[in-house]
Structure 1
Amino acid sequence: MTEPDKPMDSPPSAPTPPQHAPKTRIYVLAAHPDWGQSRITRPLRDAATAVPQVQVCDLYARYPDYHIDVATEQARLTAAQLVVLLHPIQWYSMPALQKLWLDEVLSHGWAYGQGGHALRGKDLWLVASTGGAEASYHPQGYNRYFFDAFLPPYEQTAALCGMRFLPPLILHGAHSVSNAEVQQHAAVFRERLLQYPHWPELDDMDSCPACEVPEQDRPHTPESGAATPGAWAAEGSAQPPAVPPSGSHVMDHTPAWLFNSFLYLSAAVIAVPLSQALGLGAIIGYLGAGIAIGPWGLGLVTKVDDILHFAEFGVVLMLFLVGLELEPKRLWSLRRPIFGWGSAQVLACAVAFTAVGMLAGYDWRTALVAGLGLSLSSTAIALQVMAQRNLMPTGSGQAGFSILLFQDVAAIPILALLPLLGADLMPNEASAHAGRAEQAIKIVAIIAAIVLGGRLLMRPVFRWIAASRTPEIFTAASLLLVVGIATLMQQVGLSMALGAFLAGVLLAESEYRRELETNIEPFKGLLLGLFFMAVGMGVDFGVLAQFPLQMVGIVLGFLAVKGLVIYTLARAMALPFQERAVFTLLLAQGGEFAFVVFQTAAGAQVFAPQTASLLVGAVAVSMLVSPLLLVAVDKWLLPRWAQRGVTPMEEISEPQDAPIIVAGFGRYGQIVSRVLMAQGSQCTVLDHDAEMIEAARRFGYRVFFGDATRLDLLRTAGAEKAKILVVAVDDVAQSLKIVDLARAHFPHLELVARAHDVTHWNQLRERGVMRVERELFESSLRSARSVLELLGHTPHAARQTAMRFRQHNLALFEQLHPHYKDSAKLMSVVKQGRQQLEEQMAQERAAQAQRHPGGWN
């Protein structure tokens, strides 16, 4: 240790204070375990030694054996008016020796408790530094809390001793700040010491926060009992006597979770319907509610990070439900859009942003990380909007989902890249490589466990649980599945949502798929709403106010660049013109993973904390304005296209009065609609696929764009006056939802429905739909007739055989319907029916052979 590093009070090197110096009034406790590694604390310690009225104690140099001279320290505290705790923040607290000093020196009966008045009226000042950037001490940062959340132990220590806790002096980012910033900070520290006690802010502070507390109510050790003096304060082995409640704060008796639940639900119930009534949509309502009750609104909620982390589980549940809709074969068919268009979007946006950033004068690392982070989009907002608009089955919906899924995968290597770009690389490269290899093995093992477990274990487990016939346990098991997989994925640093999606895909072919959807859907909706509220709470309007022009420039710039790239991709993918604007806006906004990327980058010292704050704020603002831009497109852009001759998708704006409504204009609905139209029957035809609508328009058919699962749209389509509703959509869940809406709100309607398979047929019949046609049944019978004719049967005989089978099959379905949920009974009836059919067919063949063949040929 060099000479300047030795403390002033460590003989023999402690210099004698000048004769003209006043009596020591400031006592600085400098604590750093390794001064050779100190960039901040050491210059501050040296600056303090140059101030005449200051005495500096280097704790680790004076007490290397951790044996504190309590009497000497208490004498120095008695002589001082200001006590300064100078140290780095280590593990969100103070160095170990500093904590030991507090435990032993601030003893009961001297510093606090009965007779403990030695420090009453003095000042305590914390001067500290943090390794993490300032942006990391944020509800959306990796430290999860504002820095103020780590100050209560210091504040309460001062209050317990009757001292005044002065505003702390903190320097963040100890490893990334420049030498000039360190010297400037040291100069500020020295100037503050020189000016004490003439600080302007001290005039507004009470001289002694604890002095007004009566002696009998201040913590003290009871006269009897086994507790030793100072035991509870130093070790926490006992609790101080309870202070009688004042009764002035009613909320003191209300659990925090209960009050917060009331707060969130109240805000949502008020804001979301209001937003819907104004035509702004539910997402904007949730975001507005979060802003209103958050730190920058009414201030009713301050711990946004806890809420955000909990509410992110809504995104996890949403991805699980999306996975349930995608069977593995279907997901495999999307591999080209996912890795083709997905990688094209991320790479093109990253390259564009990097180029713009470097042209603006930023370092290439800063520009690259900013570009990668801004290229990601909000999966929560995009999928929610797609679900509300029923866009998932459309071309743009499938393309958007593929790109979003790739982004979730791409976030993993992006996060892995950040430490390599940071200022401080790991000194031991061998251990670094070993750590990465171990992490890779864990990732492969977890994914393999999910795949094998989903294939081999989940069905037997759910079958065993379903056999208990306890619905709430099945719901608990559904949530346990998602929570467990999310936990495993997070343990190895992967996306929880990605793991939940994978689990959903593996269970998409399970017979419990619909039951899982039904159980999880309510939790998903509530948690997603809470997530959007947390995003609104987390918008840092302080950064907006401090850098308004930069923030506006970043938001407009990245939305414009990203929007241009995505619109170009939409054209390359040949998406319908009417869908490109919505597709572009859904993906142009920033995403949740960008928060993690920028905060991790700041912690890895890729760029300055101020840059991270600006980028995080820009992403949050983009998520806030994106739903507003979608509303603007619906209200102003599409009508302008119509005026300029661009044909938009025709939505129902005026109530219809046709007696027949056809929901779905696909392969099935087209045939039904064309037959009815050929007979002169008036029909209102609805479909949500823009490509199909455009194709039908070219052939002269008028099809309205709309989602038939929406009650308001059914009313506008004339469901209250219509006589017949044809349910021809190809999605099973949508079909059942339409039937449920019709049965609940339009019971007079006669329903004619299309069944996708046997299960769907039974579900429709269970809802009272009597006119149900299986979409492939009649065509399969006609093909069977053709095969029989090719085998030599006369057309009449082939038709008779097919009709006989048809009658038998329909009768069998009616017989099976009451038992379709009972697997054992179902199999018994099916086997019995097949045996009867074979016997009947054999008897008819024998009778046919004995008589002369007849009938038309």
Structure 2
Amino acid sequence: MVRFTVIGFWFLLLVGVALSARSDEETRERFYGNLVNSTAPGNGEGSIAKMFDRVLEKEFSENDQPEGSDGASFNNSVADQQAEIETVAKVTHEKGKRNDTQENNGTRPFQLQDVFSLENEDSDDMTLIDKKNNVFVMSNKKSKYPILQVDLRLISDLVVIIVFAAIGGIVFSCLGQPVIVGYLLAGSIIGPGGLKFISEMVQVETVAQFGVVFLLFALGLEFSMTKLKVVGPVAVLGGLLQIVLLMFLCGVTAMLCGARLSEGIFVGAFLSMSSTAVVVKFLVERNSTSSLHGQVTIGILIFQDCVVGLLFALLPVLGGNSGLLQGIISMGKLLLILSIYLTVASLLTWSFVPRFLKLMIQLSSQTNELYQLAAVAFCLLSAWCSDKLGLSLELGSFVAGVMLSTTEFAQHTLEQVEPIRNLFAALFLSSIGMLINVHFLWNHVDILLASVILVIVIKTALAAVVVKAFRYNMKISFHVGVLLAQIGEFAFVLLSRASNLHVIEGKMYLLLLGTTALSLVTTPLLFKLIPYAMNLGVLVRWFPSENNSQNEEKASLIEVHNRTK
């Protein structure tokens, strides 16, 4: 079978890239254009130029706009210089036309994904592609009357992903396996790389992004300030050391192999990112968020989320699009903003937050509805402010949780947020699964599996050595190393941005893409082996016994408590 690279999604918050080996012409004509085909060598099939040959280029005109005098109309926006005219490509659903012809002839077989498809003659959905290959799905046409509109595509997609996530979670729970695996596999089945029940992931992934926000918010609520002082040095200095060492090792390796230094440095930064959502979900299921190894792991993960913004500032330097001085200035600016943000959060923690929560408790004496709404609003406001400052949604939501954890209402807040967190966490993990193309993984399973094993070994060993350097015992160090051994979902964002800036070549892009996807699939299974590895380590006397580990953890907490008196 001839292998083709298909389907790419590049959007504002998350980037989903799915690759598949397909042979039929019908599937290729659904291609919207992706980053992989613009960098990977090939015979021209499925390239951006071919894509534009298969779509209808259309420029907005006055005749296409509904009449009205509102300030957001096409004419007024352009005349007031609030917008500029740009040529876009409107995707025509030729597949649907061919299917209608086949149906009239009685030759078209039944396809299961047609049950979930909204591409029919009554649908208002259209897909637009701009000159930068950004894909926009328009679900409703503008009306000159203020009427309620329903996004049928989004409703259908949410129904599909929630139902399949529930089924996947139930099946794997009955099998005694982590429900995370069920969520990931459910997403891969219904996504573009599977049965194509969901082909446009932008809207679903945007809604699912609330999952990681509420996960980090609940995590902050459970975070102990006392233990934060314990893990602070290893989280910041250790996390930074891990990233720098990986960038150094990969950079040296790239130079020795004749590759570009910038490509090696990026690969090191790329591999240093771990999955906050997957690891936190696992720790929550095992009730290990308050353990010492859990706190160390969470601290390093939060630090990595902070560093993502700095890595984005570094990418133009690696791609040669900006000077070194400009890159240093950008990173310094982010560090300054981060310091100001944390300072303001600390001041609000001691002055505003306790009074605000007491007021909400008084107003919510009869029902918790108002308190729950206020807690969610506080989380989203903090996340939004963090994102607007150029940091990240994840950092803002975690800081919001930590701010509330210092009050007496932390447990009550957690109880109110948990149902919302669980729902959106399942959505988020399933949306990650939709990035995984089962066909591509299967066709390249040998080299990708070898790459994943190599990444797990290197990251586990490096993280364990770094944590051990901060005087933690070998058992905790190894445990943290295994928890950080995967590649995080936000690496997809870094990967797409780096490919756009020509930091990496097409072949390396495909290798890192497949390795990341397979890493996320195998991570829950790797976590399942942790207890057996721990027991084996105790038997061969590599690790201390459980009692000794608990005594060391208590001693560390007492030592920090005494220092802060």
TM-score of the two chains, using structure 1 as the length reference: 0.47
The alpha-carbon deviation at position 400 of structure 1 amounts to 1.7
2:132 aligns with: none
Once the two structures are superposed, what CA deviation does each residue of 1:380-423 show, in whole Å capped at 9, x if it has no partner? 12222222223333332232223222222222222211111113
Q: What is the distance in 1 between the residues matched to 2:10 and 2:164?
A: 20
The runs of 5 or more residues in structure 2 that have no matched partner are: 19-27, 69-99, 101-113, 123-149, 558-565
Q: What is the distance in 1 between the residues matched to 2:245 and 2:330?
A: 32
The alpha-carbon deviation at position 507 of structure 1 amounts to 2.2
Q: What is the distance in 2 between the residues matched to 1:408 and 1:529?
A: 20
Residues 1:466 and 2:324 are matched in the alignment: no
Name which of 486, 499, 513 aligns with 1:589: 486
Q: What is the distance in 1 between the residues matched to 2:387 and 2:247?
A: 26
Aligned residues: 459
Q: What is the distance in 1 between the residues matched to 2:224 and 2:29?
A: 59
1:646–1:168 Cα change, 3 Å: closer
User: Contact 1:231/1:237 (CA < 8 Å) preserved in 2?
Assistant: no
Q: Secondary structure at the match of 2:434?
A: helix
Name which of 212, 233, 243 aligns with 1:346: 243
Q: What is the distance in 1 between the residues matched to 2:247 and 2:6?
A: 23
Once the two structures are superposed, what CA deviation does each residue of 1:564-596 show, in whole Å capped at 9, x if it has no partner? 212333544555555555433211101123222
Once the two structures are superposed, what CA deviation does each residue of 1:26-47 show, in whole Å capped at 9, x if it has no partner? xxxxxxxxxxxxxxxxxxxxxx
Name which of 421, 425, 430 aligns with 2:318: 421
Residues 1:480 and 2:365 are matched in the alignment: no
2:9 aligns with: 138
2:139 aligns with: none
The amino acid across from 1:461 in the alignment is: F
Q: How does 1:403-418 map to 2 (within 5 A)?
A: 403-418=300-315
Q: Secondary structure at the match of 1:538?
A: coil
The amino acid across from 2:522 in the alignment is: V
Larger radius of gyration: 1
User: Contact 2:487/2:516 (CA < 8 Å) preserved in 1?
Assistant: yes
The alpha-carbon deviation at position 366 of structure 1 amounts to 0.6
Q: How does 1:620-769 map to 2 (within 5 A)?
A: 620-634=517-531, 637=533, 691-692=549-550
The alpha-carbon deviation at position 645 of structure 1 amounts to 5.2
1:364 aligns with: 261
1:558–1:287 Cα change, 3 Å: same
Q: What is the distance in 1 between the residues matched to 2:506 and 2:17?
A: 14
2:347 aligns with: 452
The alpha-carbon deviation at position 335 of structure 1 amounts to 2.4
Q: What is the distance in 1 between the residues matched to 2:468 and 2:332?
A: 41
1:143–1:410 Cα change, 3 Å: closer
User: Contact 1:486/1:499 (CA < 8 Å) preserved in 2?
Assistant: yes
Residues 1:293 and 2:164 are matched in the alignment: no
Q: Secondary structure at the match of 1:494?
A: coil
Q: What is the distance in 1 between the residues matched to 2:542 and 2:330?
A: 58
1:377 aligns with: 274
The amino acid across from 1:403 in the alignment is: I
Q: Secondary structure at the match of 1:138?
A: strand
The amino acid across from 2:209 in the alignment is: E
2:77 aligns with: none
1:235–1:349 Cα change, 3 Å: same
Q: What is the distance in 2 between the residues matched to 1:483 and 1:422?
A: 34
Q: What is the distance in 1 between the residues matched to 2:222 and 2:423?
A: 20
Q: What is the distance in 1 between the residues matched to 2:423 and 2:337?
A: 33
TM-score of the two chains, using structure 2 as the length reference: 0.68
Once the two structures are superposed, what CA deviation does each residue of 1:701-734 show, in whole Å capped at 9, x if it has no partner? xxxxxxxxxxxxxxxxxxxxxxxxxxxxx9xxxx
User: Contact 1:581/1:633 (CA < 8 Å) preserved in 2?
Assistant: no
1:237 aligns with: 66
1:320 aligns with: 217
| RMSD after superposition | 4.6
Q: How does 1:54-453 map to 2 (within 5 A)?
A: 137-138=8-9, 144=15, 234-237=63-66, 255-326=152-223, 328=225, 330-425=227-322, 446-453=341-348
Once the two structures are superposed, what CA deviation does each residue of 1:83-135 show, in whole Å capped at 9, x if it has no partner? xxxxxxxxxxxxxxxxxxxxxxxxxxxxxxxxxxxxxxxxxxxxxxxxxxx99
Of all paired residues, the percent bearing the same amino acid is: 22
Q: What is the distance in 1 between the residues matched to 2:160 and 2:465?
A: 44
2:459 aligns with: 562
The amino acid across from 2:416 in the alignment is: N
Q: What is the distance in 1 between the residues matched to 2:12 and 2:254?
A: 23
2:24 aligns with: none
User: Contact 1:394/1:689 (CA < 8 Å) preserved in 2?
Assistant: no
Structure number with higher relative contact order (C-alpha < 8 Å, ≥ 6 residues apart) = 2
The runs of 5 or more residues in structure 1 that have no matched partner are: 1-133, 148-165, 193-201, 210-229, 240-245, 651-687, 697-729, 731-857
1:438–1:381 Cα change, 3 Å: closer
Q: What is the distance in 2 between the residues matched to 1:580 and 1:568?
A: 7
Q: What is the distance in 2 between the residues matched to 1:297 and 1:649?
A: 45
User: Contact 1:275/1:285 (CA < 8 Å) preserved in 2?
Assistant: yes
The alpha-carbon deviation at position 484 of structure 1 amounts to 1.0
User: Contact 2:360/2:371 (CA < 8 Å) preserved in 1?
Assistant: yes
User: Contact 1:314/1:527 (CA < 8 Å) preserved in 2?
Assistant: yes
Q: Secondary structure at the match of 2:408?
A: coil
Q: Secondary structure at the match of 1:362?
A: coil
Q: What is the distance in 1 between the residues matched to 2:168 and 2:410?
A: 34
The amino acid across from 2:66 in the alignment is: S
The amino acid across from 1:289 in the alignment is: A
User: Contact 2:7/2:31 (CA < 8 Å) preserved in 1?
Assistant: no
